[in-house]
């Protein structure tokens, strides 16, 4: 459908250029200080005639278009965003309930690392969480209303990372996915496979035993509850050992339990030893 990523990949222009070259759709989160144009900048490809001075490299951007603006400043000061009425969408269904966001969007262009210098038309999405007030910025190389894409579809991709991150969190906290107490490629991958298969088993049991899929109903089992139930079941199973029975350990002879003494030597008692030590420590 489309690629999605966090700010780490959203700030990487070469990564986005590679997706554009392969004609792959993406909706990635970008940092607030990312630079964009709301109007397409002009690219100069032919040098002007009768120009004195040092020759300039072409193609190049027009002088007044060389500095794009930060997306946080565009969302705050640009008339395009200030005069736009935010649209409310349900962006996430979390364990704490529904998250509603105020959405504003506008077409934009970004600077590329290729000879084109300017990307094709993109979409800048500004999403503000109504409850927390947090604002996130997303960039997509698809425009609503074209090629079957809509704003709701872009938002579904943009906020589709939450189930994946929640899956990773459950695997780490409940199933020990991040407990890499091993070395070697095979050992690490075996640990990954076992953790992922365990999570798949827990998810199937959770889906089978849950009476409702409503998060707020309180009837949806958690991965932790499924894991605890499986542990109780495994502890209750009694398996007969196939190994040979071990022989009872023999106790040593009584004479070996006593410390050997030479004939005619008397072992001092505890009181005698304390008295001797105290006499030696006197000045």
Per-residue DSSP letters for 133-182?
--EEEEEESS-TTSTT--HHHHHHHHTTHHHHHHHHHHHHHHH-TT----
Q: Is residue 273 part of a domain?
A: no
- What is the residue-level pLDDT of the chain in tens, covering all 283 positions? 789 999 999 999 999 999 999 999 999 999 999 999 998 888 777 776 666 767 777 777 777 777 889 999 999 999 999 999 999 988 777 666 678 889 999 999 998 887 678 889 999 999 999 888 899 999 999 999 998 999 999 999 998 887 788 888 888 888 888 887 777 888 888 888 888 888 888 878 877 776 655 544 555 666 677 777 777 766 776 554 444 455 555 555 555 444 445 455 454 555 544 544 444 444 4
Q: Is residue 92 part of a domain?
A: yes
Same domain, 88 and 184: no
- CA Rg value for the chain: 35
- Cβ–Cβ < 8 Å for 127, 91: yes
Same domain, 14 and 115: yes
Same domain, 48 and 186: no
Residue 202 parent element (H or E): helix 185-209
Same domain, 141 and 184: no
Q: Is residue 146 part of a domain?
A: yes
B/e letters for 85-94, b = 16+ CB within 10 Å, e = fewer, are eeeebebbee
Q: Is residue 220 part of a domain?
A: no
Q: Look at residues 29, 158, 27 and name the one whose alpha carbon lies nearest to residue 99.
A: 158
Q: Is residue 261 part of a domain?
A: no
Same domain, 146 and 20: yes
Same domain, 151 and 166: no
- As a dihedral over the C-alpha atoms of residue 65, residue 70, residue 74, residue 75, rounded to 10 degrees, the angle is 160
pTM: 0.65
Same domain, 152 and 166: no
Q: How many domains does the chain have?
A: 2
Residue 32 parent element (H or E): none
Q: Is residue 221 part of a domain?
A: no
Same domain, 145 and 31: yes
Same domain, 121 and 62: yes
Rounded (to 5) percent helix, strand, coil in the chain: 40, 20, 45
Same domain, 39 and 142: yes
Same domain, 41 and 155: yes
Instruction: Give the structural domain span for 82.
Output: 3-159
Q: Look at residues 59, 17, 54, 20 and name the one whose alpha carbon lies nearest to residue 42.
A: 59
Same domain, 28 and 127: yes
Q: Is residue 203 part of a domain?
A: yes
């Amino acid at each position: 459908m489309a690629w999605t990523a966090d700010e780490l990949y959203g700030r990487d222009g070469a990564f986005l250029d590679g997706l554009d070259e392969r004609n792959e759709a993406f909706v990635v989160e970008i940092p607030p200080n990312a630079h964009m144009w709301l109007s397409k900048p002009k690219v100069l490809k032919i040098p002007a005639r009768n120009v004195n001075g040092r020759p300039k490299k072409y193609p190049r951007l027009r002088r007044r278009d060389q500095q794009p603006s930060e997306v946080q400043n565009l969302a705050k000061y640009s008339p395009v965003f200030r005069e736009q009425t935010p649209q409310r969408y349900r962006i996430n269904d979390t364990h704490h309930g529904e998250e509603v966001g105020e959405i504003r969007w506008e077409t934009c262009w970004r600077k590329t690392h290729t000879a084109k210098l300017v990307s094709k038309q993109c979409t800048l999405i500004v999403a503000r969480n109504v409850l927390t007030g947090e604002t996130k910025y997303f960039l997509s190389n698809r425009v609503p209303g074209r090629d079957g894409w809509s704003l709701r579809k872009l938002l579904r991709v943009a906020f589709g990372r939450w189930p994946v991150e929640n899956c990773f969190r459950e695997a780490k906290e409940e199933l020990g996915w991040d407990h890499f107490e091993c070395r070697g490629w095979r050992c690490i991958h075996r640990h990954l496979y076992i953790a992922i298969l365990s999570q798949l088993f827990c998810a199937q049991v959770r889906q089978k035993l849950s009476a409702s899929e409503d998060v707020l109903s309180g009837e949806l089992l958690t991965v932790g509850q499924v894991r605890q139930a499986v542990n109780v079941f495994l502890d209750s199973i009694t398996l007969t050992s196939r190994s040979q029975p071990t022989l009872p350990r023999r106790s040593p002879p009584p004479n070996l339990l006593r410390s050997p003494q030479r004939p005619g030597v008397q072992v001092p008692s505890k009181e005698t030893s304390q008295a001797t030590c105290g006499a030696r420590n006197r000045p």
